[in-house]
A and B are shown apart, each in its own frame.
Chain A
Amino acid sequence: MIDNHQDNMTNLTKDDFVLVQKDTKISDKALESKPTTFFKDALKRFRKNRSSVVGAIILGILILLALFVPAISTKNIERTSKSEAFLAPKLFEAGTGFWDGTKKYTRIVYDIVNEVPADYYKPAVLNLKVDEKPTYIDQASKNGKGGFVIFANETKSPDKSVLLSSYPTLFTSSGNYKVQFLLDNEDHVQESVLGEYAVYLTYTDNGTAKRILLKDDSTDYGMIELDISLALQEAGLPEVKGSLSFELKSKENENTYILIKECVFSSNEETENYDELVNQISFTDATKMVLLARDEFQNVPVGYWSCSGRKGVHNSEIYYCDFLYDTYAVAYDAQEVTYAASDLQSYIDQGLCEYDYTIGPESFKKLSDECPIDSVIDQQINSITKKLLSVRANSYRYRKLGYKKMPKFILGTNQNGQDLFKKAFAGLRTSLMLGVCTAAFCFLFGLCWGAISGYFGGNVDIAMERFCDILGGVPWIVIMTLAILHFGNNFITFFLALCLTGWMGTAARTRTQFYRFKGREYVLASRTLGASDGRLIFKHILPNSLGTIVTASVLMIPSTIFSEATLAYLNLGLQGVQAFGVMMSENQQYLQSSPNLVVFPAIIIALMMISFNLFGNGLRDALNPSLKGSE
């Protein structure tokens, strides 16, 4: 290598050297790379930070929603409409199974007779699933059936009796009257044991109560048949007006009971009356029997058991069901609504329908889909003027409520029937406005304060710092509380009170930055050239320190939103405007029954905070590259 090199060197002649710029002038050339400014550079750095960009996009969407949703949405969030309260979030049509305005109900008592969950509106029930096996309860419920009548006696008390019908029935010795009852032998129910019982036919003879023994004290359980007519023949009575009664013995140290599943009377007498009576005092469904109760005039039904012990129901069958409940169908479905004649006339004038009251309901003709009335059921006419007063009509309730079509609430409605979506973003708009105003004020004021304190230093600085120490020592919650108690919870108070403590962060940051930069050579150079204090502050020091300060100010916006919400949870929330925190704290009490009312706002505010922080981190890295990556 070296030898080669030396060979070449020796072979060079003077002619091999040429002056490159022999006769050309060397002058400045314009830079070929594109010029860039500080902010362009920052933007470039910001764009590289992917998570910050995502944060900025989400933040942008939320801000746009907050600005435009309250302006565009036509839903009314001022009025209270109880019938529309607690509607579920709905984005798709009902029955699609996802976000469709239905609420899931589980273990609701099923009404077997009407084939609908008890006390629910049938057309709104979807995906009904009734338990295949019944659940047994010891309670008489109007949706229950079957089971046993439990007739019980306490320990060490007199024998108790129960009359199987409240009104005496005529039994004859010739009528072949029989009674059949089914007793169950399930022991140890409700901490008691099966007891000994006897059966009598109780009747009154000339005012004195008498009874004929039908079955002596026994512990026979199962199907038992007693012949009443035979007993009457043995007693030598042709006919008796009486009731069948059980007598239950008490025990020394245990409560006793018997379980009666059914009790059926029969006779071959063919009088209609008697059949009916016999049917009324018989029972096969214990739950229904126990539910028989005195009516409002204290009259008792024929089959009512008057009892000196305790009667109740045991193992009554009840069915539970799971289903989806279309809350919108309940609130807005077709119903009978009464319209005044003037309302109807206005619809006719608008050309929505035709109606002639002299002909009647048949004359109604719907001309447009916008007409709230579907069909007229009947009409009412003033008896004197012979003019139409009102019509009763089938109508969709949403039309009556002022909607053109079935409304959809994306996030559902709150306890006052107001749209949560609009309310949330209207509240967010207020919060954002408060945040931006506060951040802007604190930025400007803190900047001036910090600049003066940091630039001049010395005694000015010490005095200003002590002032900050004292003001900064007061917890913000104390300041806010006092301000609200004095000046009420309106927007201006919130703004001023938040500003009162908010600017100190910016001021401290600015002061530090000024201490850092004021001794630099470029400042000194400018000073020696005779620059004024103002010029030094605003032209030389401030632009260098702006990045950190701006980032901190941007992050003041979410902290203000957080403060507003915190105060709302302390019952000090903003009043008179739609406020996010107030809405959340009001909805808090419905956390269990309608979690959507709390969960959606919580997601919105969490998303807002997260994206603000992501955005803020990116902004800090972009504006101040030397801090990149630090927390």
Chain B
Amino acid sequence: MVKYVLKRIGLALATAFIILSLTFIMIKLLPPERTTGQESQQIAFYEEQVRLGYAYSFNMEKPELGEYLYKTNGSSGKSTYYYQVPVMKQYGSWLKNIFTKFDWGVSRKINPNVKASVIIGERLGYSIRINILSVLFSVPIGILLGIWAALKKNTMTDHVISTLVMVFISIPSFVLIIFLLLIFGYKLGWVPTKWPNPTDPLSYKILGYILPVFCLSFGSICGYCRFTRAELCEVMESDYLLLARTKGLTKKQAILRHALRNAMVPIVPSILAEFIGILGGSMILEGLYGIPGIGKLFIESLEYKDYNILFVDMAIFTTISLLAGVVLDISYGFIDPRIRMGAKK
């Protein structure tokens, strides 16, 4: 088991490394963004790039290196020219920076010359808070609805729940956000129509959480409900549950002690995986509601062509999705003793 876990983690890390390398090269192959802005900021940014090994600086023009990235007119009439380093050399520098210093570079436009890791750290908090709330909210409701539907299988209750779940699972998230925003934000005015400012009073800030948490929860509630219902229905028809009933257990005992425990086997890993997923923000929700999380950061970095930030953001999304997959796989083995992960035939 330990061997399997280690192998699985190792494989995920290797995959992450390959993906990030490819992403890095792809981003560096993009035409570099030449910006206008405060000169001191620009110089500081390009000096940092030189320090990290992504750019050269010369005191004269070097046409053989292509077009320069930036040119400063120094006080003594001496100009400094910054040129891009060949992409594969940049890749080498990147490897060195990551493995020796864990240095991901600085932001160019969003928060000029602030370390990318610092910016991510700032933004991550918002995404995590909203996602944790939504998981805490959606898991119990989803599972309870699923259990209810399964226990009342093929009755009116079950049909209503299943139909609603099917409808809400089909509706795209941005459509849901639009309707919730329109009804509860604009028409009824119960909740803010956009993310509150830091200066707003606390009560208003708390109200600001309602809509995003609700939006995020809707999908997962439906997902958990459907999953739980399907699993529980299957377990309810199994022989061992019939045996439990025939040996004299009440329906309640049979369901609580036998059916639910077994039905939870595939559900718990997906909850664990979702807890990993709280690190990643929902891009559309954050964009539409103006939540300053890492999903919004992705949109902003795309808009400003702030590639260092974009890369770190992409790295986070990739790592999270791989990690969630590993946790899902491994936890199956821990929770269900019948499954021997990685066992040979």
Q: Do the two shown chains form a genuine complex with each other? A: yes
Contact between B175 and A570, CB atoms less than 8 A apart: no
Q: Give Cα distance in the complex from A229 to B288, angstroms.
A: 72
Shortest distance in angstroms between A528's beta carbon and chain B's nearest beta carbon? 24
- Verify A631–B317 contact, CB threshold 8 A: no
A606 touches B170 (CB 8 A): yes
Contacts of A481 in B (CB 8 A): 302, 310, 314
Residues of B within 8 A of A591 (CB): 178, 181-182, 186
Flag whether B210 is at the interface (Cβ < 8 A).
Answer: no
- Cα(A562)–Cα(B175), bound, Å: 11
For B178, what are the chain A residues with a Cβ–Cβ distance below 8 Å?
A: 588, 591, 598-599, 602
Q: Is B230 an interface residue (CB 8 A)?
A: yes
Q: In this assembly, does A76 line the interface, its C-beta being within 8 Å of a C-beta of chain B?
A: no
Q: Which of A334-342, A467-475, A500-508 forms part of the interface with chain B?
A: A467-475
CB distance from B73 to the nearest CB of A (A): 31
Q: Is the interface of A mostly helix, strand, loop or mixed?
A: helix
| C-alpha spacing A571/B30, complex, angstroms | 18
The answer, yes or no, to whether A447 is at the interface (CB within 8 Å) is no
* B284 beta carbon closer than 8 Å to chain A: yes
Query: Which among A276-284, A383-391, A609-617 touches the partner chain?
Result: A609-617
Contact with A along B153-170 (1 / 0, CB 8 A): 000000000000011011
Cβ 8 A contact of A609, one of B29, B30, B170, B317: B170
Most A C-beta atoms less than 10 A away, residue of B19, B178, B182, B283: B178
A584 adjacent to chain B (CB < 8 Å): yes
When each residue 594-612 of chain A gets 1 if its CB lies under 8 Å from chain B and 0 otherwise, what string results? 0100110010011001101
Within 8 A of B (CB), among A543-584: 558, 562, 565-566, 569-572, 584
Does residue A367 face the partner (Cβ distance < 8 Å to B)? no
Q: Which residues, 57 to 73 on B, are CB-close (under 8 Å) to A?
A: none
A610 contacts B182, C-beta separation under 8 Å: no
| B302 contacts A478, C-beta separation under 8 Å | no
**What number of A-B contacts does a CB cutoff of 8 Å give?**
106
Tell me the complex Cα distance, A473–B18, Å: 10
A residues 455-474 touching B (CB-CB < 8 Å): 469-470, 473-474
Within 8 A of A (CB), among B26-52: 26-27, 29-30
In the bound complex, how far is the Cα of B309 from the Cα of A393, in angstroms? 61
Specify the chain B residue showing the minimal Cβ separation from A595: B182
Is there an interface contact between B171 and A571, defined as CB atoms closer than 8 Å? no
Q: Is the CB of A570 within 8 A of B288?
A: no
Residues of B within 8 A of A485 (CB): 27, 30, 302
A37 within 8 A of B: no
Q: Is the CB of A570 within 8 A of B172?
A: no
Is A91 part of the contact surface with B, judged by Cβ < 8 Å? no
Bound complex: CA of A478 vs CA of B27, how far in Å? 11
Contacts of A475 in B (CB 8 A): 314, 317-318, 321
Interface 1/0 per residue, B122-151 and A, CB below 8 Å: 000000000000000000000000000000
Task: Report the count of interface residues on A (CB-CB < 8 A).
Answer: 36
Verify A473–B166 contact, CB threshold 8 A.
no
How distant is A56 from chain B, measured CB to nearest CB, in Å? 15
Asked if A602 and B179 make an inter-chain contact with CB atoms under 8 angstroms apart, the answer reads: yes
Cα separation A605 to B302 with both chains bound (whole Å) = 26
B108 within 8 Å of A (CB atoms): no
Tell me whether B322 is interfacial, beta carbon within 8 Å.
yes
Q: Check if B332 is an interface residue, CB within 8 A of chain A.
A: no
B325's nearest neighbour on chain A, judged by CB, is A473
With a cutoff of 8 Å between Cβ atoms, the chain B residues found around residue A566 in the complex are 172, 174, 283-284
Q: Is B11 an interface residue (CB 8 A)?
A: yes
Instruction: Kindly list chain A residues whose C-beta atoms are within 8 Å of the C-beta of B302.
Output: 481, 485, 570-572
A384 to chain B, nearest CB (A): 55
Name which residue of chain B comes closest to A566, CB basis: B284
A133 in contact (CB, < 8 A): no
Shortest Cβ gap from A586 to chain B (Å): 13
User: CB-defined interface of A47-62 with B at 8 Å, one 1/0 digit per residue?
Assistant: 0000000000000000
Residue A592, interface by CB 8 Å:
yes
- Across-interface contacts of B230 in A (CB, < 8 A): 630-631
Does B15 interact with chain A (Cβ within 8 Å)? yes
Of all chain B residues, the one with the shortest Cβ separation from A617 is B166
A189 close to chain B: CB less than 8 A: no
The answer to the question of B235 belonging to the interface, with a C-beta cut-off of 8 Å to chain A, is no
The answer to whether residues A605 and B317 also contact, given A478-B23, A569-B284 and a CB cut-off of 8 A, is no
For A34, the chain B residues whose CB sits under 8 A away are none
Task: Give B200-244 interface residues, CB cut-off 8 Å to A.
Answer: 226-227, 229-230
Please give, as numbers and ranges, the residues of chain A lying within 8 Å of B310 by CB-CB distance.
Answer: 481
Least CB distance, A12 to chain B, in whole angstroms: 50
A470 to B193, CA, bound (A): 40
* In contact, A614 and B166 (Cβ under 8 angstroms): yes
Could you give, for residues 168-192 of chain B, a 1 whenever the CB lies within 8 Å of some chain A CB and a 0 otherwise? 0111101100110110001000000
| Interface residue from B29, B166, B174, B288 paired with A565 (Cβ < 8 Å) | B174
Which residue of A is nearest B231, CB measured? A631
Shortest beta-carbon distance from A52 to chain B in Å: 11
Of all chain B residues, the one with the shortest Cβ separation from A584 is B174
| B-contact 0/1 string along A614-631, CB 8 Å cutoff | 100000000000000011
**A-B contacts besides A475-B314, A477-B283, 9 pairs, CB < 8 Å:** A470-B19, A475-B318, A478-B317, A569-B283, A570-B302, A591-B186, A598-B178, A613-B170, A631-B227
Leading 7 A-B pairs by shortest Cβ distance: A609-B170, A610-B170, A602-B175, A631-B230, A606-B171, A473-B15, A613-B170
Chain A positions near chain B (C-beta within 8 angstroms): 469-470, 473-475, 477-478, 481-482, 485-486, 558, 562, 565-566, 569-572, 584, 588, 591-592, 595, 598-599, 602, 605-606, 609-610, 612-614, 630-631
Enumerate 13 A-B pairs (CB-CB under 8 Å) in ascending A order: A469-B15, A470-B15, A474-B23, A477-B283, A481-B302, A565-B174, A570-B283, A570-B284, A570-B287, A571-B303, A591-B186, A606-B171, A610-B170
